[in-house]
Amino acid sequence: MIGSMTSGVQAMSSFVKGIEVVGNNIANINTIGFKGATTRFQDAFSNTLQRGTGNTGLGSNSVTQQIGTGTKIATIKTQFAQGSLQTTGGLSDLGVSGEGFFRVRDTLQGLEYVTRAGDFRVDDQGYLVTNTGFRVQGLGLAADQAGTTFSAGAADGSGVIDDTALRDIRIDYRSETAVGGPRLETFQIDQGGNVNIFLSNGQSMVRGKVLLQRFQDTGALVKEGDNLYSGIADAGPTEPWPAVRVSGTPSAAFGTATDYLALSAAQNGNGRVISGSIEMSNVDLTSEFANMITTQRAFQAASKLITTSDEILQEIVNLKR
């Protein structure tokens, strides 16, 4: 009876965690880029009453006899299925159709994260940032290294995308003409992640390129809140980015100008950037309510197991009378 009570307690403890996972999923039904999780259970250690024996030729074999000791959580797995894309019309709102993640950088602490939440904004310095001010990563101009001016179609190459270093995506225009030069009118980010800016004199140029990151094992990513994930190295990036943020020779893993600048629909299989949209939560409310009901009933059954075991123990104690 003590064993059955222990099994019931373990089951109740596991099912409480399952309810917490369901509750978190439902709470984030409207969270941008949120990925729901599922709880998987597995049986616990079993007490062996008798081990099975093989057939020795003198008689039949015997079967193993075991009594389980309950259940426990096997894993709480985040489901990275595609969420629906909702059109917003915002120039800085970006959704991903595919497996890729946006990579962002906390400039104050020097930490990098990935996210599927593309509700970005352009800050007062022209950087494309998250709501918490983390800068979106990708390719930029060589002029960004020193903060110098550049021009669309300039012969000196100041307006050419530099594929040799990773930079913070910046959407601005610093004209080489000090007075009366063109100004930035608007911008548009295409499906390849190219940041196209349009100037007041009718010219346009590619100002930068938003890069996407894909992983071998998304289950190793760690939710950090604010729609961010850490654990980038543990998740096994399929295309590692350079560890240094300076100009130099392109690494083989980072790629070349041909690899990145000539991309059209998908970035090496990472997905497409859908401008003017955001990815919504992938939580299925119908499934979550069904999971909540079954987990609740399982919890009730486990609690009933404890009360039943208690009643049997009481009857055993009463035998003394």
**pLDDT tens-digit map of 172-191:** 988 766 666 788 999 999 99
Residue 197, domain member (yes or no):
yes
User: For residues 230-261, b (16+ Cβ closer than 10 Å) or e, as one string?
Assistant: ebbeebebebebeeeeeeeebeeebbeeeebb
Residues 202 and 68 occupy one common structural domain: no
**pLDDT tens-digit map of 78-102:** 999 999 999 999 999 999 999 999 9
Rounded Cα distance between 209 and 101, Å, is 14
Residues 118 and 30 occupy one common structural domain: no
Domain count of the fold of the chain: 2
How much is the pLDDT for 264? 44
- Number of residues written out for the chain: 321
Residue 57, domain member (yes or no):
no
Residues 146 and 172 occupy one common structural domain: yes
Confidence of residue 31 (pLDDT cuts 50, 70, 90): very high
Torsion of CA 49, 50, 52, 55, to 10 degrees: -160
The most confident of 19-28, 45-54, 245-254, 297-306, by mean pLDDT:
19-28
Rounded Cα distance between 173 and 186, Å, is 10
Contact 84, 272 (CB under 8 A): no
Rounded Cα distance between 241 and 233, Å, is 11
Residue 215, domain member (yes or no):
yes
- Whether the pLDDT of residue 4 is over 70: the answer is yes
How much is the pLDDT for 249? 38
Q: What is the mean pLDDT of residues 119-128?
A: 94
Residues 191 and 306 occupy one common structural domain: no
Rounded Cα distance between 226 and 34, Å, is 10
- Whether the pLDDT of residue 258 is over 70: the answer is no
Residues 255 and 144 occupy one common structural domain: yes
Residue 59, domain member (yes or no):
no
Q: How far is CA 84 from the centre of its chain?
A: 15
Residues 124 and 176 occupy one common structural domain: yes
Residue 220, domain member (yes or no):
yes
Residue 143, domain member (yes or no):
yes
Residues 14 and 123 occupy one common structural domain: no
Residues 310 and 238 occupy one common structural domain: no
- Whether the pLDDT of residue 156 is over 80: the answer is no
How much is the pLDDT for 154? 66
Residue 25, domain member (yes or no):
yes
Percent of the chain exceeding pLDDT 90 equals: 54
Residue 176: domain span:
85-279
pTM of structure: 0.81
Residues 307 and 181 occupy one common structural domain: no
Residues 122 and 236 occupy one common structural domain: yes
- The mean-pLDDT minimum among 171-185, 211-225, 231-245 falls in 231-245
Residue 243, domain member (yes or no):
yes
How much is the pLDDT for 255? 45
Residues 201 and 145 occupy one common structural domain: yes
Residues 99 and 184 occupy one common structural domain: yes
